[in-house]
Amino acid sequence: MTSAHTTNQPLLQANNGFLSKVSLSLVLRHLRRVQPGLVLAWSIIGIVTLWAIAPEFFTSQSSTVGVAGAQLRAPSADHWLGTDALGRDLFARIVYGSVHSLSGAFIAVAVGLLIGTALGLIAGSVRGAVGDIIMRVVDVLLSIPNLFLSLSIIVLLGFGTINAAIAVGITSIARFARLARSEVIRVRQSDYVEAGFGSGGTFASVLWRHILPNSLTSVIALAALQFGFAILTISTLGFLGYGAPPPTPEWGLLIAEGRNYIARAWWLTAAPGIVVILVVLAANRISQSLGKARP
Amino acid sequence: MTAAKAMDRPVLEIDNLVIAYKDQDAFHSVVHGVSFAVRPGEVVALVGESGSGKTTTAQAVIGLLAENGRLESGAIRLNGTDISKWSQKQLDTIRGSKISLIPQDPTSSLNPVKTIGEQVGEILKIHGRGDKKAIEARVTELLARVGLSHPELRARQYPHELSGGMRQRVLIAIAIALEPALIIADEPTSALDVTVQKRILDLIDDLRREFNTAVLLVTHDLGVAADRANHLVVLQGGRIQERGPTAEVLSAPRSPYTRKLLADAPSLAKPQRVSKANTGSDEYAIVVENLVQDFPVKNGRETFRAVDGVSFRVRKGTTHAIVGESGSGKTTTARNVVAFQKPTSGRIVVDGADVTALRGENLRQFRRKIQLVYQNPFGSLDPLQSIFQIIEEPLLNFGRIAREDRTRKVHDILERVGLPESTLTRKPRALSGGQRQRVAIARALVLDPQVLVLDEAVSALDVTVQAQILGLLDELQQKLGLTYLFISHDLAVVRQIADTVSVLHDGRQVDSGTVEDVFLRPGSDYTRELIDAIPGTKTFALA
């Protein structure tokens, strides 16, 4: 530990000497350190986001109206990923479906992130009875299997994309709360938090200025991870019929509909399945890079 | 004749050693052509500040450079054989048997899940010295040799059951187990209290004499090197500044850097300060009476008394030091004074206000009067804030001050602590340890407090930086009339900066008075022991 510190020192000092060149060398270093996997992950998320914002730029076909006589076609120049049993273009359906999956995932992550982090922050900084009660509730949430919990919540709230997203979000509250609490407790013990109180800071101002920003790095990494997980779970719920009703081109629903024709038209299940897998993997990769970037 | 010749041949010869570390994609040299030799029975001290390459050089000798390190050129000759090109496997045969290492940190250098006996026995097992029974007997013998009481019992204990000094003794037992020709001691006592430090260094000295072992002592403490080494090698930025017999280097340093080190080393320099103990004003900034602090232990069934009846008064504009070893209650006292910890009983008055009665908003307002500067400048600054935000923060906590006023105030205080304006936009990690401590002092001063509590505020810094910060504190005190409560384990520093002093031992105040009184006429055996243990005093007395 100390030896590493000692030996790094001259390097740091050398850097300080070249302050004028720092910005240039920083850019060069970033260029040299480009990670192809991370670039790929960001481009996948970027493309899927563009699909959600402006699907009409990516396909001229309709996602809901089929072409008569063109059912269950194999992939071709006209229909890049073939057509389904009603003659609808599969590529168009995937492109138009991204808005449902992405917005669902966003709502799910937002619900988990906001409520979970708030609970964790309170539990970590107030402690005592309030903290204990919050954490026991979180333990109960954690002990219920995720899918089972989201199914029960959907049954309470009613079917639909938004409700499915909220249900998935609620299942992730426990995870966010746990992580946020442990980070808050770690940060709370540091000298700079005490110094914040020592220089006359009120509880709220120290919480806002020091504890929250320093606890968030890992929480944001978890949010990226949960984003992929939410897409997967929302697709699962769609597949089971708890999500958006037909003819919404939601990805999970696409897989479910394609399942009946798996022997004749395997691409109907494979293509949306691969898209879901790619987005989930991309979110994981991004989450990993965020987690590493802690100060 | 031959014996005399063998005595003369160096155990270790380092010849023009160049070591580089890989940073990003390029190799940067950090040790540039270092050469020296260590003869049997001799102690050679590598002295330097952090970043001087002293640890890197020592690591290279035993083949333990960090993964991004590389030996560029030069030779490392052990008894005449160049080992610099040896593979790790070849080095394994001499590590422990010919060269051994006493590491710096006794806490992290022992395996917490293995008993002491197993860990000492491991080196004997690796080098195939005897069967299980013989090894056990030898372990007991070694533990007794390094001065541990009840060696059989210790062999069955785990590291956490031993104190820091005892752990360091265990590490020494491992290092001498195979009676190596060379021991590398990398800051062997930096993590220990002074009295323990003295005993450990005495032990290394005894063992060296007994086995005629050569010792390569790596240290940042010129006092330790002056007391213990025959030869000094002074390193700066990976280059040898000066080397030669200790007495020669100390009495007639040739390089300006060595002269600066000698001037800055608190244990070697003469105190130049004019004491204000009796000339200060008659008003007291801090009055502590009969302070007692209990902590619950064993789930609240028992209490541990950390501070037991401490009393002292500090005149306005003077410096009072609280001195003691770890566990003496000095930090607890400081935390009581700044109201981070409510004392069990006793009275604390700071600038006329009874601290123990304060709570809520009154307590918050009280914080304008007294500020704490922490030991570790790496942990006391928020890594995400810029230096400007850090210094500005206390101003935001008290009333509405216009943005321009705040900016001006921050700039003023930054100039006062001697930092360039360009640092304002930077994050703490872009600053050196000394610069960070200046930022911490700036943050403490921005509210114009009357009292500054400095909790080991210079202990983590190199001697030259430490001397600068102490100079800054002195200057600020004269200009602003500040009162300091200076918490330290380092008596040498205390002698330099303080006017009055309290010596704590196990929570009790064993001595107090002006610095001259306590140092020249110590009132207790413990204080005398502390003063004797200051490294460098022997040499200083001789010079």
For B264-305, the pLDDT digits (tens) are 877 655 555 666 655 556 788 889 988 998 888 777 778 888
Q: What's the domain count of chain A? A: 2
Check whether A183 has a pLDDT greater than 80: yes
Check whether B103 has a pLDDT greater than 60: yes
Q: Lowest-pLDDT range, A33-37, A88-92, B78-82, B207-211?
A: A33-37
Domain that holds residue A115: 36-292
- The verdict on B237 touching A (C-beta cutoff 8 Å) is yes
- Tokens for B20? 């580089």
Say if residue A20 is in the same domain as residue A59: no
Cβ-nearest to A200 among B56, B382, B397:
B397
Integer angstrom CA distances of residue B43 from B181, B230, B239, B240 = 12, 5, 20, 17
Say if residue A27 is in the same domain as residue A97: no
Say if residue A173 is in the same domain as residue A288: yes
Q: Buried b vs exposed e over B78-100: b needs ≥16 C-beta within 10 Å?
A: bbeeebbebeeeeeeebbbbbbb
Closest CA to B249 of B36, B56, B103: B36
Domains of chain B, each with CATH number or no CATH: 2-98+180-264 (3.40.50.300), 111-179 (no CATH), 284-369+451-542 (3.40.50.300), 380-448 (no CATH)
For helices B164-176 and B194-211, the axis angle rounded to 10 degrees is: 10
The pTM is what?
0.75
Say if residue A179 is in the same domain as residue A215: yes
Q: CA–CA separation, B19 vs B186, rounded Å?
A: 18
For residue B47, list its beta bridge partners.
B219, B234
Q: CA–CA separation, B56 vs B64, rounded Å?
A: 9
Say if residue A196 is in the same domain as residue A221: yes
Higher pLDDT, B60 or A15: B60
Check whether A3 has a pLDDT greater than 60: no
Residues B294-317: what's their mean pLDDT?
A: 84
3-state secondary structure of B299: coil
B209 burial level (CB within 10 Å; 0-12, 13-18, 19+): exposed
Check whether A21 has a pLDDT greater than 70: no
Say if residue A89 is in the same domain as residue A214: yes
Cβ-nearest to A13 among B51, B54, B69:
B51
Which of chain B's residues have a Cβ under 8 Å away from the Cβ of A3?
Answer: 55-56, 59, 66, 104, 186
Q: What is the reported pLDDT for A28? A: 65
* CATH label of the domain that carries residue A110: 1.10.3720.10
Check whether B481 has a pLDDT greater than 70: yes
CB contact under 8 Å between A11 and B21, yes or no, is yes
pLDDT category at B139 given cuts 50, 70, 90 is very high
Task: Identify the DSSP state of B402.
Answer: -
Say if residue A150 is in the same domain as residue A247: yes
Given a contact cutoff of 8 angstroms between Cβ atoms, the answer to whether B49 and B225 are in contact is: no
Check whether A11 has a pLDDT greater than 90: no
Q: CA–CA separation, B25 vs B251, rounded Å?
A: 44
Say if residue A172 is in the same domain as residue A272: yes
Residue type, B209: R
CB contact under 8 Å between A198 and B338, yes or no, is yes
Q: Lowest-pLDDT range, A96-110, B218-232, B259-273, B384-398?
A: B259-273
Say if residue A89 is in the same domain as residue A150: yes
Say if residue A82 is in the same domain as residue A106: yes
Average pLDDT of chain B, as a whole number: 85
Q: What is the reported pLDDT for A177? A: 93
Q: What is the reported pLDDT for A46? A: 92
Check whether B540 has a pLDDT greater than 60: no
Which of chain A's residues have a Cβ under 8 Å away from the Cβ of B66?
Answer: 3-4, 7
Check whether B1 has a pLDDT greater than 50: no
**Cα Dmax for chain A:** 77
Say if residue A19 is in the same domain as residue A106: no
Average pLDDT of chain A, as a whole number: 81
Which of chain A's residues have a Cβ under 8 Å away from the Cβ of B50?
Answer: 5-6, 9
CB contact under 8 Å between A10 and B443, yes or no, is no
Say if residue A151 is in the same domain as residue A21: no
Q: Lowest-pLDDT range, A69-73, A155-159, A209-213, B343-347?
A: A69-73
Given a contact cutoff of 8 angstroms between Cβ atoms, the answer to whether A271 and A90 are in contact is: yes
- The verdict on B400 touching A (C-beta cutoff 8 Å) is no
CB contact under 8 Å between B105 and A11, yes or no, is no
A15, A22, A191, best to mutate vs chain B, most B CBs in 10 Å? A191
Q: What is the reported pLDDT for B216? A: 92
For residue B293, list its beta bridge partners.
B307
